[in-house]
Amino acid sequence: MKEVIKVPQAGESITEVSIAEINKSTGDYVEKDETILVLETDKASLDIVAEKAGVITLKVEEGDTVTIGTELCEIDTSASAPAGGASAPQAEEPSGSNGSGDATPAAATNSED
């Protein structure tokens, strides 16, 4: 089954939002309540989280400006979690650039730059 996530109503006077940040890629497995992307208006930022676990297909790109009700992504809830945990390996890859797979030393190195 597919779960469609759309731009929610962000306020009475808000008619469009910008895609400020995308935290997942098409094909990634997401857990329920995991942040997928961040929407930005002239008044606030809003995290969009996965309503269910599954494999995500994005329908927008970072920097896009979209209207309320626009489809942001689909989550294939029939997909199985990858072996070894759903999001732990994906979470470590971007910050684990030192090749150890340990995010803590990489984070410490980045904060010193």
DSSP conformation letters of 40-108: E-SS-EEEEE-SS-EEEEE---TT-EEETT-EEEEEETTSPPPTT-SSHHHHHHHH-TTTTS-HHHHHH
Give the pLDDT of residue 22. Answer: 97
What pTM, to 2 d.p., does this model score? 0.70
Residue 59's pLDDT is: 97
pLDDT of residue 109: 39
Residue 65 confidence (pLDDT): 97
Please tell me the predicted confidence (pLDDT) of residue 25.
Answer: 96
Q: What is the structure's pLDDT at 82? A: 84
Which positions of the chain have pLDDT values less than 70? 84-113
pLDDT of residue 84: 67
Domains of the chain: 2-80 (2.40.50.100), 82-113 (no CATH)
